[in-house]
Amino acid sequence: MDLFSYAFEEQQSGKMKPLAARLRPRSVDEVLGQSHILAPGKLLRRAIEADQVSSLIFYGPPGTGKTTLAKVISRTTKSHFSELNAVTAGVADIRRIVEEAKERQVMSNQRTTLFIDEIHRFNKAQQDALLPYVEEGTIILIGATTENPFFEVNAALLSRSQIFPLHPLSETELRQVVERALTDEEQGLGELHVKLEPEAEQHLIRYAEGDARRLLNALELAVMTTPPGPDGTITVTLDVAVESIQRRAVRYDKSGDNHYDTISAFIKSIRGSDPDAALYWLARMIDAGEDPRFIARRLVISASEDIGNADPQAITVAISCQQALELVGMPEGRIPLGQATTYLATAPKSNAAYQGINEALSQIQADGHKPVPLHLRDRSYKGAARLGHGEGYKYPHDFPGGYVPQQYLPDGVSHTFYRPKPIGYEREIMARQEARKRSRT
């Protein structure tokens, strides 16, 4: 390292660094949140304290402590610690670190831990380049990603790593972050005499959405752009807080877990007859830019799967919504989407038709395709009548009530597939079916 590099490092280690970097925890005890993996006795904490960390992948939203945990491990491990960022690194960088790790292992019997930030940015070839060295123990891999690793990281690499999800920080934990920032005179803002008004603090915490780094960046901006008063106190008001933490960009990967989790919550809210929750998840998807046609298709499915004949109008409403969406487009399309969502959420529920088709398919897959009974076969084509097709068929409209008992299932099949429930319109269907059953006996 030359003189200029040394001076730069010294500068960066002081207050030239952003507040979030200066306040980064240096030990496990200083880490806020993530008690599900870091509480005393938990596997990850024991591994860090015993310096027995194996390959890991930290997965969670920004600002939850993925890089922090890697830095904590770097301070506690006796192995050599190397870092790469997958945005700028490539296979050549991996090979260089691997060669250095092999040499270090031979010369001083020291392990090498490689931290790769944003590991999901590596393509398949780059991830494959890591695999043999992780497998043979040349390097211990610590990967950090904001994306679901089961979507973005090779299965072979996942199978050789322990995956630890990190959660957004709670409001209580974020308040602790603020308190630490305002009282720490060495690395924080303690020497500046900052007064953070309660409404301003609440606003910053609320709109940080569990992201400690976002909170600290906004707090630092608010403090550094506010002139001190006559007594030297920097007062951060609600107006200043609002300006300092503007609306964040929405994280919503349309092919990842955000997509699947949100649509799952939406459909389950409809199924659970909660229109308010259903509208909330609908709004989340619209706000995030989800394809409205995808939402409409799921409404059509839900109308049959979760409501069915308890309210036969539900499928009509859902299809009308889909057609209206194609006609008017967005943003007006949110209106029929909202109407269909609330109709389905408040409709009576029955999955009898859904269960019925599934059971019928299972029966066919188990028993194969049974022959169609002769009296049900078509006798209109040439030679069919001579073969006895349609012979003995009873035309229901020739009988009172348009119903006559006769065999409709193949020989050897007697299963009841459709079992209507005493809910909504299916109550009438159930009564009609029971009456017809009695007439057969």
- In 3D space, the residue among 249, 229, 259, 213 whose CA is nearest the CA of residue 33 turns out to be 213
Phi, psi of 256 (to 5 degrees): -115, -160
Q: What is the pLDDT of residues 156-180, one digit of tens each?
A: 888 889 999 999 999 999 999 999 9
Res. 200 pLDDT band, cuts 50 70 90: very high
Distance CA 67, CA 263 (A): 30
Q: What is the pLDDT of residues 86-97, one digit of tens each?
A: 999 888 999 999
In the Cβ-directed half-sphere of 369, how many Cα atoms lie within 13 Å?
1
Query: Given a cut of 60, is residue 423 above it in pLDDT?
Result: yes
* Helix (H/G/I), strand (E/B), else coil: 243: helix
The per-residue pLDDT for 3 is 36
Res. 15 pLDDT band, cuts 50 70 90: low
> For the chain, what percent of residues have pLDDT higher than 70?
94
Q: Measured between alpha carbons, how far is residue 299 from residues 81, 292, 322, 389, 400 in Å? A: 51, 11, 9, 42, 39
- How far from the centroid of its chain's Cα atoms is residue 87's Cα? 23
Tell me which fold the domain 257-346 belongs to. Answer: Zinc Finger, Delta Prime; domain 3 (1.20.272)
The per-residue pLDDT for 249 is 53
Residue 144, amino acid? A
Domain 34-165 shares a fold with domain 257-346: no
Phi, psi of 309 (to 5 degrees): -85, 0
Distance CA 329, CA 326 (A): 6
CATH of region 171-244, choose from 3.40.50.720, 3.20.80.10, 3.30.470.10, 1.10.8.60: 1.10.8.60
The per-residue pLDDT for 214 is 92
Distance CA 138, CA 101 (A): 6
Distance CA 324, CA 410 (A): 42
Distance CA 266, CA 297 (A): 13
The per-residue pLDDT for 248 is 57
Distance CA 173, CA 183 (A): 15
- In 3D space, the residue among 232, 310, 230, 217 whose CA is nearest the CA of residue 271 turns out to be 310
The per-residue pLDDT for 209 is 86
Query: Given a cut of 80, is residue 282 above it in pLDDT?
Result: yes
* Helix (H/G/I), strand (E/B), else coil: 340: helix
Q: What is the average per-residue pLDDT within 209-216?
A: 92
Q: What is the average per-residue pLDDT within 339-358?
A: 96
Q: Measured between alpha carbons, how far is residue 311 from residues 148, 233, 433 in Å? A: 38, 65, 17
Question: What angle, 0 to 180 degrees and rounded to 10, lies between the N-to-C axes of helices 275-288 and 292-302?
Answer: 150
82 forms beta bridges with: 114
The per-residue pLDDT for 220 is 94
Domain 34-165: state its class.
alpha beta
The per-residue pLDDT for 250 is 56
Q: What is the average per-residue pLDDT within 313-341?
A: 95
Q: Are 80 and 113 in contact (CB under 8 A)?
A: yes
Phi, psi of 78 (to 5 degrees): -90, -5
The per-residue pLDDT for 275 is 94
Q: What is the average per-residue pLDDT within 116-140?
A: 90
Distance CA 1, CA 135 (A): 33
Domain ranges of the chain: 34-165, 171-244, 257-346, 370-439
In the Cβ-directed half-sphere of 115, how many Cα atoms lie within 13 Å?
20
